[in-house]
Amino acid sequence: MRQLRLVVAFHTTSAAIAAEALCRRLGLEGKLISVPRQVTSDCGMAWSAPPELRETLESRLAEAGVETAGFYELVV
């Protein structure tokens, strides 16, 4: 079922994996997905999460030094 999701793109695979580990450690909902066609990214992986987690993810990833390529709200 397609639904609105927050998609976080990354420049590197290591950043995507670091984001996954951080989110798991913090108990934040989400999962790694293939980057949707609507998004351009150097890495083929993205983090998909509920849109209401945007502010939390932006701040937590920045605090942890995880570099992102962009935050997008898409139906996936």
Per-10-residue mean pLDDT of the chain, 76 residues long, equals 96 98 98 94 94 99 98 96
Neighbours of 63 (CB within 10 A): 9
pLDDT at 41: 82
In the Cβ-directed half-sphere of 68, how many Cα atoms lie within 13 Å?
A: 21
The ranges assigned to domains in the chain are: 4-75
pLDDT at 42: 86
Which among 22, 18, 49, 21 is positioned nearest to 33, based on CA atoms? 49
What is the pTM for the complete model shown? 0.94
CATH number for 4-75 (one of 3.10.450, 3.30.70, 3.30.2320, 3.40.50): it is 3.30.70
